[in-house]
Amino acid sequence: MRKTEYKNRRRKFLIIFIGILSVVLAAEIGYIALLYNRDNSSSPDSVNKDMGLNTPSYQTDTEDTSAMTPAPATKPANTSEKPVQQSDNIKEQINSMSLDEKIGQLVIVGLDGYEADEHARQMIEEYRVGGFILFTSNIQNSNQMLELLNSLKNINRANKVPLFLSVDEEGGRVSRLPDEFLKIPSNQIIGKLNNSSVSHQVGSIIGEELKSFGMNMDFAPVLDINSNPKNPIIGDRAFGTGPNLVSKLGVQTMKGLQSQNIIPVVKHFPGHGDTSTDSHVGLPKVDNDLKRLRNFELKPFARAIENGAEAVMVAHILLPEIDPDNPASFSKTIINDVLRLEMNYDGVVITDDFTMGAIVKNYNIGQAAVKSILAGGDIVLVCHDFEKQKAVISALKDAAQSGQLPMDRIDRSVIRILRLKQEHKITDTPASTVDPESINKKISALLK
Protein backbone atom coordinates (compact mmCIF):
# COMPACT_ATOMS: atom_id res chain seq x y z
CA MET A 1 0.00 0.00 0.00
CA ARG A 2 2.82 2.38 0.90
CA LYS A 3 4.79 1.38 -2.24
CA THR A 4 1.78 2.12 -4.47
CA GLU A 5 1.20 5.52 -2.79
CA TYR A 6 4.90 6.40 -3.28
CA LYS A 7 4.72 5.55 -7.01
CA ASN A 8 1.60 7.69 -7.46
CA ARG A 9 3.22 10.68 -5.75
CA ARG A 10 6.34 10.26 -7.87
CA ARG A 11 4.25 10.09 -11.08
CA LYS A 12 2.35 13.29 -10.11
CA PHE A 13 5.62 15.09 -9.36
CA LEU A 14 7.06 14.14 -12.75
CA ILE A 15 3.91 15.29 -14.57
CA ILE A 16 3.96 18.67 -12.77
CA PHE A 17 7.70 19.10 -13.42
CA ILE A 18 7.33 18.33 -17.15
CA GLY A 19 4.37 20.73 -17.37
CA ILE A 20 6.31 23.59 -15.76
CA LEU A 21 9.31 22.89 -17.99
CA SER A 22 7.09 23.02 -21.12
CA VAL A 23 5.62 26.38 -20.12
CA VAL A 24 9.10 27.86 -19.51
CA LEU A 25 10.42 26.58 -22.85
CA ALA A 26 7.38 27.91 -24.71
CA ALA A 27 7.84 31.35 -23.11
CA GLU A 28 11.53 31.42 -24.05
CA ILE A 29 10.78 30.48 -27.67
CA GLY A 30 8.06 33.15 -27.88
CA TYR A 31 10.40 35.80 -26.47
CA ILE A 32 13.14 34.91 -28.97
CA ALA A 33 10.64 35.07 -31.84
CA LEU A 34 9.43 38.47 -30.62
CA LEU A 35 12.97 39.85 -30.58
CA TYR A 36 13.63 38.46 -34.04
CA ASN A 37 10.49 40.00 -35.51
CA ARG A 38 11.14 43.35 -33.81
CA ASP A 39 14.70 43.55 -35.09
CA ASN A 40 13.70 42.61 -38.63
CA SER A 41 10.73 44.97 -38.72
CA SER A 42 12.89 47.96 -37.79
CA SER A 43 14.24 48.30 -41.33
CA PRO A 44 12.63 51.07 -43.42
CA ASP A 45 11.26 48.56 -45.94
CA SER A 46 9.54 46.52 -43.25
CA VAL A 47 8.09 49.62 -41.59
CA ASN A 48 6.75 50.85 -44.92
CA LYS A 49 5.16 47.46 -45.64
CA ASP A 50 3.45 47.57 -42.25
CA MET A 51 2.05 51.02 -43.11
CA GLY A 52 0.81 49.86 -46.51
CA LEU A 53 3.51 51.89 -48.29
CA ASN A 54 6.18 50.77 -50.69
CA THR A 55 9.62 52.24 -51.31
CA PRO A 56 9.79 53.01 -55.05
CA SER A 57 13.18 54.06 -56.37
CA TYR A 58 11.88 56.94 -58.56
CA GLN A 59 14.84 56.30 -60.86
CA THR A 60 15.24 58.80 -63.69
CA ASP A 61 18.00 57.05 -65.61
CA THR A 62 15.86 56.55 -68.69
CA GLU A 63 13.00 58.24 -70.48
CA ASP A 64 11.57 54.85 -71.45
CA THR A 65 9.22 54.41 -68.52
CA SER A 66 7.74 51.28 -70.08
CA ALA A 67 10.97 49.45 -69.29
CA MET A 68 10.67 50.16 -65.57
CA THR A 69 9.29 47.69 -63.08
CA PRO A 70 5.80 48.96 -62.24
CA ALA A 71 5.27 50.09 -58.68
CA PRO A 72 2.24 48.75 -56.82
CA ALA A 73 -0.88 50.79 -57.49
CA THR A 74 -2.13 50.55 -53.92
CA LYS A 75 -2.96 53.74 -52.07
CA PRO A 76 -0.78 54.55 -49.06
CA ALA A 77 -2.46 54.16 -45.70
CA ASN A 78 -3.22 57.27 -43.63
CA THR A 79 -0.52 57.38 -40.99
CA SER A 80 0.76 59.83 -38.44
CA GLU A 81 3.43 62.42 -39.17
CA LYS A 82 7.11 61.78 -38.67
CA PRO A 83 8.95 63.69 -35.92
CA VAL A 84 10.31 67.06 -37.02
CA GLN A 85 13.94 67.84 -36.27
CA GLN A 86 14.49 71.04 -34.32
CA SER A 87 17.35 72.77 -32.54
CA ASP A 88 17.24 73.93 -28.93
CA ASN A 89 16.99 77.60 -29.91
CA ILE A 90 14.00 76.91 -32.17
CA LYS A 91 12.36 74.98 -29.35
CA GLU A 92 12.84 78.00 -27.07
CA GLN A 93 11.49 80.35 -29.72
CA ILE A 94 8.42 78.18 -30.30
CA ASN A 95 7.69 78.16 -26.57
CA SER A 96 7.87 81.96 -26.43
CA MET A 97 5.51 82.58 -29.37
CA SER A 98 1.85 83.52 -28.99
CA LEU A 99 -0.90 81.77 -30.95
CA ASP A 100 -1.22 84.80 -33.25
CA GLU A 101 2.49 84.69 -34.01
CA LYS A 102 2.36 80.98 -34.80
CA ILE A 103 -0.74 81.25 -37.00
CA GLY A 104 0.82 84.18 -38.87
CA GLN A 105 3.82 82.05 -39.84
CA LEU A 106 1.45 79.66 -41.61
CA VAL A 107 0.45 82.31 -44.17
CA ILE A 108 2.16 84.19 -47.02
CA VAL A 109 0.07 87.00 -48.52
CA GLY A 110 0.11 89.41 -51.42
CA LEU A 111 -0.54 93.14 -51.34
CA ASP A 112 -2.16 95.83 -53.47
CA GLY A 113 -0.30 98.55 -55.33
CA TYR A 114 3.26 99.79 -55.26
CA GLU A 115 3.54 100.70 -51.58
CA ALA A 116 3.16 99.02 -48.20
CA ASP A 117 -0.36 100.28 -47.57
CA GLU A 118 -2.50 100.05 -44.45
CA HIS A 119 -3.60 96.51 -45.31
CA ALA A 120 0.02 95.35 -45.61
CA ARG A 121 0.84 97.06 -42.32
CA GLN A 122 -2.11 95.33 -40.65
CA MET A 123 -1.01 91.95 -42.01
CA ILE A 124 2.38 92.47 -40.34
CA GLU A 125 1.47 94.24 -37.11
CA GLU A 126 -1.81 92.54 -36.23
CA TYR A 127 -1.73 89.21 -38.03
CA ARG A 128 2.07 88.60 -37.90
CA VAL A 129 2.15 86.99 -41.35
CA GLY A 130 5.18 84.92 -42.29
CA GLY A 131 5.84 86.62 -45.60
CA PHE A 132 4.75 88.40 -48.79
CA ILE A 133 4.66 87.59 -52.49
CA LEU A 134 5.01 90.28 -55.18
CA PHE A 135 3.43 90.39 -58.63
CA THR A 136 3.85 92.70 -61.63
CA SER A 137 1.02 94.81 -60.18
CA ASN A 138 3.39 95.64 -57.31
CA ILE A 139 6.41 96.50 -59.46
CA GLN A 140 7.03 99.68 -61.48
CA ASN A 141 10.81 99.84 -61.59
CA SER A 142 13.85 98.75 -59.61
CA ASN A 143 13.92 101.73 -57.21
CA GLN A 144 10.23 101.42 -56.36
CA MET A 145 10.51 97.64 -55.88
CA LEU A 146 13.50 98.05 -53.58
CA GLU A 147 11.69 100.71 -51.55
CA LEU A 148 8.58 98.53 -51.23
CA LEU A 149 10.54 95.52 -49.96
CA ASN A 150 12.57 97.63 -47.53
CA SER A 151 9.41 99.21 -46.14
CA LEU A 152 7.89 95.78 -45.48
CA LYS A 153 11.05 94.81 -43.62
CA ASN A 154 11.05 98.01 -41.59
CA ILE A 155 7.45 97.48 -40.49
CA ASN A 156 8.23 93.89 -39.50
CA ARG A 157 11.35 94.66 -37.47
CA ALA A 158 9.32 94.84 -34.26
CA ASN A 159 8.32 91.18 -34.75
CA LYS A 160 10.38 88.20 -33.63
CA VAL A 161 10.54 86.43 -37.01
CA PRO A 162 11.79 87.92 -40.32
CA LEU A 163 9.67 87.81 -43.46
CA PHE A 164 9.76 85.49 -46.42
CA LEU A 165 9.88 87.88 -49.41
CA SER A 166 8.96 85.93 -52.50
CA VAL A 167 8.06 86.09 -56.16
CA ASP A 168 7.28 83.85 -59.16
CA GLU A 169 10.42 84.33 -61.23
CA GLU A 170 10.70 81.34 -63.57
CA GLY A 171 12.06 82.94 -66.72
CA GLY A 172 10.11 83.06 -69.97
CA ARG A 173 6.53 84.32 -69.72
CA VAL A 174 6.38 84.03 -65.92
CA SER A 175 8.62 86.92 -64.92
CA ARG A 176 7.81 89.69 -62.44
CA LEU A 177 11.05 91.67 -62.30
CA PRO A 178 11.31 95.27 -63.58
CA ASP A 179 11.91 95.99 -67.26
CA GLU A 180 15.47 97.17 -66.51
CA PHE A 181 16.43 93.49 -66.47
CA LEU A 182 16.82 91.39 -69.60
CA LYS A 183 14.42 88.47 -69.71
CA ILE A 184 15.63 84.95 -68.96
CA PRO A 185 14.68 82.34 -71.62
CA SER A 186 11.79 79.99 -70.90
CA ASN A 187 12.41 76.55 -69.43
CA GLN A 188 11.37 75.03 -72.74
CA ILE A 189 14.27 76.81 -74.48
CA ILE A 190 16.66 75.75 -71.70
CA GLY A 191 15.32 72.22 -72.10
CA LYS A 192 16.12 72.18 -75.80
CA LEU A 193 19.71 73.15 -75.00
CA ASN A 194 19.79 70.25 -72.51
CA ASN A 195 22.86 71.68 -70.78
CA SER A 196 23.14 71.26 -67.00
CA SER A 197 25.64 74.08 -66.71
CA VAL A 198 23.31 76.54 -68.46
CA SER A 199 20.44 75.44 -66.23
CA HIS A 200 22.55 76.08 -63.14
CA GLN A 201 23.55 79.51 -64.47
CA VAL A 202 19.90 80.40 -65.03
CA GLY A 203 19.11 79.61 -61.40
CA SER A 204 22.17 81.51 -60.20
CA ILE A 205 21.35 84.63 -62.26
CA ILE A 206 17.72 84.67 -61.11
CA GLY A 207 18.96 84.21 -57.56
CA GLU A 208 21.36 87.12 -57.91
CA GLU A 209 18.56 89.32 -59.24
CA LEU A 210 16.29 88.51 -56.29
CA LYS A 211 19.08 88.79 -53.74
CA SER A 212 19.95 92.27 -54.99
CA PHE A 213 16.47 93.40 -53.90
CA GLY A 214 16.73 91.65 -50.54
CA MET A 215 14.30 88.88 -51.49
CA ASN A 216 14.83 85.36 -50.19
CA MET A 217 12.34 82.99 -51.87
CA ASP A 218 11.46 82.10 -55.47
CA PHE A 219 8.49 79.97 -56.50
CA ALA A 220 10.60 78.09 -59.04
CA PRO A 221 11.75 75.92 -60.72
CA VAL A 222 8.81 74.25 -62.43
CA LEU A 223 9.22 70.47 -62.19
CA ASP A 224 6.05 69.63 -64.11
CA ILE A 225 6.42 67.36 -67.14
CA ASN A 226 4.67 68.80 -70.18
CA SER A 227 2.97 65.53 -71.13
CA ASN A 228 -0.42 66.86 -72.21
CA PRO A 229 -0.45 68.97 -75.42
CA LYS A 230 -3.82 70.42 -74.34
CA ASN A 231 -2.42 71.75 -71.06
CA PRO A 232 -3.37 75.45 -70.94
CA ILE A 233 -1.08 76.53 -68.11
CA ILE A 234 2.27 74.66 -68.22
CA GLY A 235 3.51 74.44 -71.83
CA ASP A 236 6.82 76.27 -72.25
CA ARG A 237 7.16 76.65 -68.48
CA ALA A 238 8.31 73.00 -68.40
CA PHE A 239 11.82 71.85 -69.32
CA GLY A 240 10.45 69.02 -71.44
CA THR A 241 8.11 66.08 -71.94
CA GLY A 242 10.02 63.37 -70.04
CA PRO A 243 11.01 62.86 -66.39
CA ASN A 244 14.74 62.48 -67.01
CA LEU A 245 15.24 65.85 -68.70
CA VAL A 246 12.98 67.70 -66.27
CA SER A 247 14.76 66.08 -63.32
CA LYS A 248 18.25 66.90 -64.54
CA LEU A 249 17.68 70.52 -65.53
CA GLY A 250 15.20 71.32 -62.77
CA VAL A 251 17.59 70.20 -60.05
CA GLN A 252 20.38 72.32 -61.55
CA THR A 253 18.20 75.44 -61.61
CA MET A 254 17.22 74.70 -58.01
CA LYS A 255 20.89 74.45 -57.03
CA GLY A 256 21.67 77.67 -58.89
CA LEU A 257 19.08 79.53 -56.81
CA GLN A 258 20.46 78.00 -53.64
CA SER A 259 23.97 79.13 -54.58
CA GLN A 260 22.70 82.72 -54.14
CA ASN A 261 21.02 81.89 -50.81
CA ILE A 262 17.56 82.07 -52.39
CA ILE A 263 15.05 79.42 -51.29
CA PRO A 264 13.69 77.54 -54.34
CA VAL A 265 10.11 76.32 -54.09
CA VAL A 266 9.82 73.44 -56.56
CA LYS A 267 6.37 73.14 -58.12
CA HIS A 268 3.62 72.00 -58.76
CA PHE A 269 3.52 68.77 -56.73
CA PRO A 270 2.44 66.08 -57.56
CA GLY A 271 2.60 67.30 -61.18
CA HIS A 272 0.50 69.78 -63.19
CA GLY A 273 1.72 68.67 -66.61
CA ASP A 274 -1.13 66.31 -67.51
CA THR A 275 -4.00 68.70 -66.78
CA SER A 276 -6.39 70.19 -69.32
CA THR A 277 -7.81 72.86 -66.98
CA ASP A 278 -6.08 76.00 -65.73
CA SER A 279 -6.28 75.92 -61.92
CA HIS A 280 -6.42 79.74 -61.92
CA VAL A 281 -9.87 79.33 -63.47
CA GLY A 282 -11.23 75.96 -62.31
CA LEU A 283 -10.30 72.74 -60.55
CA PRO A 284 -8.25 70.39 -62.75
CA LYS A 285 -9.07 66.70 -62.49
CA VAL A 286 -6.49 64.07 -63.38
CA ASP A 287 -7.41 60.38 -63.43
CA ASN A 288 -3.86 59.05 -63.02
CA ASP A 289 -3.33 56.64 -60.14
CA LEU A 290 -0.42 56.43 -57.73
CA LYS A 291 1.35 53.83 -59.85
CA ARG A 292 1.44 56.26 -62.78
CA LEU A 293 2.62 59.15 -60.58
CA ARG A 294 5.45 57.08 -59.12
CA ASN A 295 6.62 56.07 -62.57
CA PHE A 296 6.35 59.53 -64.14
CA GLU A 297 5.19 62.79 -62.49
CA LEU A 298 6.84 62.26 -59.10
CA LYS A 299 10.30 61.49 -60.49
CA PRO A 300 11.55 65.10 -60.82
CA PHE A 301 10.32 65.88 -57.31
CA ALA A 302 12.01 62.78 -55.94
CA ARG A 303 15.28 63.81 -57.58
CA ALA A 304 14.92 67.32 -56.17
CA ILE A 305 14.30 65.95 -52.67
CA GLU A 306 17.38 63.73 -52.98
CA ASN A 307 19.35 66.86 -53.88
CA GLY A 308 18.20 69.01 -50.99
CA ALA A 309 14.86 70.55 -51.97
CA GLU A 310 13.85 72.87 -49.12
CA ALA A 311 10.32 73.86 -50.11
CA VAL A 312 7.63 72.26 -52.28
CA MET A 313 4.51 73.92 -53.69
CA VAL A 314 1.44 71.67 -53.82
CA ALA A 315 -1.03 72.17 -56.66
CA HIS A 316 -4.81 72.51 -56.69
CA ILE A 317 -5.38 69.26 -58.62
CA LEU A 318 -8.01 66.64 -57.86
CA LEU A 319 -6.74 63.06 -58.30
CA PRO A 320 -9.85 60.88 -57.72
CA GLU A 321 -7.87 57.62 -57.97
CA ILE A 322 -5.80 58.71 -54.98
CA ASP A 323 -8.07 61.05 -53.01
CA PRO A 324 -11.56 61.53 -54.46
CA ASP A 325 -12.56 64.17 -51.92
CA ASN A 326 -9.67 66.65 -51.64
CA PRO A 327 -7.37 68.42 -54.11
CA ALA A 328 -3.66 67.77 -53.58
CA SER A 329 -3.28 71.11 -51.80
CA PHE A 330 -5.26 69.84 -48.82
CA SER A 331 -5.10 66.07 -49.25
CA LYS A 332 -3.52 64.17 -46.37
CA THR A 333 -2.94 61.24 -48.71
CA ILE A 334 -0.92 63.40 -51.11
CA ILE A 335 0.92 65.66 -48.64
CA ASN A 336 1.54 63.48 -45.59
CA ASP A 337 1.41 59.94 -46.89
CA VAL A 338 3.04 60.33 -50.31
CA LEU A 339 5.26 63.41 -50.04
CA ARG A 340 6.36 63.24 -46.42
CA LEU A 341 6.30 59.52 -45.57
CA GLU A 342 6.84 57.72 -48.84
CA MET A 343 9.21 60.27 -50.39
CA ASN A 344 10.85 61.05 -47.04
CA TYR A 345 10.45 64.82 -47.30
CA ASP A 346 10.72 66.94 -44.15
CA GLY A 347 10.96 70.40 -45.70
CA VAL A 348 8.39 73.18 -45.94
CA VAL A 349 5.18 72.52 -47.90
CA ILE A 350 3.43 75.56 -49.40
CA THR A 351 0.11 75.56 -51.22
CA ASP A 352 -0.52 77.21 -54.54
CA ASP A 353 -2.52 80.46 -54.27
CA PHE A 354 -5.79 79.90 -52.40
CA THR A 355 -7.49 82.77 -54.23
CA MET A 356 -7.33 80.84 -57.51
CA GLY A 357 -10.55 79.64 -59.10
CA ALA A 358 -9.81 76.02 -58.24
CA ILE A 359 -10.40 76.87 -54.57
CA VAL A 360 -12.75 79.87 -54.36
CA LYS A 361 -15.21 78.43 -56.90
CA ASN A 362 -15.44 75.07 -55.17
CA TYR A 363 -14.56 75.36 -51.47
CA ASN A 364 -14.80 77.59 -48.44
CA ILE A 365 -11.36 79.22 -48.37
CA GLY A 366 -11.03 79.17 -44.58
CA GLN A 367 -12.07 75.55 -44.18
CA ALA A 368 -9.76 74.52 -47.04
CA ALA A 369 -6.86 76.31 -45.34
CA VAL A 370 -7.45 74.43 -42.09
CA LYS A 371 -7.61 71.12 -43.97
CA SER A 372 -4.32 71.94 -45.70
CA ILE A 373 -2.47 72.37 -42.41
CA LEU A 374 -4.16 69.27 -40.96
CA ALA A 375 -3.01 67.34 -44.05
CA GLY A 376 0.64 68.13 -43.29
CA GLY A 377 1.06 71.41 -45.16
CA ASP A 378 2.95 74.28 -43.57
CA ILE A 379 2.09 77.51 -45.39
CA VAL A 380 -1.10 78.66 -47.12
CA LEU A 381 -0.45 81.11 -49.95
CA VAL A 382 -3.16 83.81 -50.22
CA CYS A 383 -2.03 86.14 -52.98
CA HIS A 384 -5.00 88.47 -53.40
CA ASP A 385 -7.92 90.09 -51.58
CA PHE A 386 -7.41 91.42 -48.06
CA GLU A 387 -10.75 89.98 -46.89
CA LYS A 388 -9.82 86.49 -48.07
CA GLN A 389 -6.46 86.78 -46.32
CA LYS A 390 -8.19 87.70 -43.08
CA ALA A 391 -10.67 84.85 -43.56
CA VAL A 392 -7.85 82.29 -43.84
CA ILE A 393 -6.02 83.59 -40.77
CA SER A 394 -9.26 83.77 -38.75
CA ALA A 395 -10.22 80.21 -39.74
CA LEU A 396 -6.82 78.86 -38.72
CA LYS A 397 -6.98 80.64 -35.36
CA ASP A 398 -10.55 79.52 -34.68
CA ALA A 399 -9.60 75.92 -35.51
CA ALA A 400 -6.63 76.13 -33.14
CA GLN A 401 -8.73 77.53 -30.30
CA SER A 402 -11.47 74.93 -30.76
CA GLY A 403 -8.98 72.06 -30.86
CA GLN A 404 -9.80 71.11 -34.44
CA LEU A 405 -6.25 72.12 -35.37
CA PRO A 406 -4.02 70.71 -32.60
CA MET A 407 -1.16 72.85 -31.29
CA ASP A 408 1.24 69.99 -31.98
CA ARG A 409 0.30 70.11 -35.66
CA ILE A 410 0.78 73.89 -35.73
CA ASP A 411 4.13 73.66 -33.94
CA ARG A 412 5.45 71.11 -36.44
CA SER A 413 4.87 73.57 -39.26
CA VAL A 414 6.26 76.55 -37.37
CA ILE A 415 9.39 74.53 -36.55
CA ARG A 416 9.96 73.79 -40.26
CA ILE A 417 9.40 77.46 -41.16
CA LEU A 418 11.71 78.84 -38.47
CA ARG A 419 14.32 76.22 -39.32
CA LEU A 420 14.30 77.26 -42.99
CA LYS A 421 14.55 80.96 -42.13
CA GLN A 422 17.47 80.28 -39.81
CA GLU A 423 19.28 78.03 -42.29
CA HIS A 424 19.20 80.86 -44.85
CA LYS A 425 20.07 83.46 -42.22
CA ILE A 426 17.06 85.54 -43.23
CA THR A 427 16.86 88.99 -41.63
CA ASP A 428 14.83 92.16 -42.08
CA THR A 429 17.94 94.19 -42.87
CA PRO A 430 17.13 96.56 -45.78
CA ALA A 431 18.93 96.10 -49.10
CA SER A 432 20.91 99.05 -50.42
CA THR A 433 21.16 99.35 -54.20
CA VAL A 434 20.33 97.32 -57.28
CA ASP A 435 22.61 97.15 -60.33
CA PRO A 436 20.67 95.70 -63.29
CA GLU A 437 23.53 96.41 -65.72
CA SER A 438 25.97 93.97 -64.11
CA ILE A 439 23.33 91.22 -64.06
CA ASN A 440 22.27 91.94 -67.63
CA LYS A 441 25.83 91.25 -68.78
CA LYS A 442 25.54 87.75 -67.33
CA ILE A 443 22.17 87.23 -69.04
CA SER A 444 23.62 88.40 -72.35
CA ALA A 445 26.52 85.97 -71.99
CA LEU A 446 24.07 83.18 -71.23
CA LEU A 447 22.09 83.87 -74.39
CA LYS A 448 25.11 83.78 -76.72
Handedness of CA 427, 429, 430, 432 (dihedral sign): negative
Handedness of CA 113, 118, 124, 129 (dihedral sign): negative
- What residues are annotated to the active site? 280, 352
Q: Count the residues in the chain.
A: 448
What is the amino acid identity at position 347? Answer: G
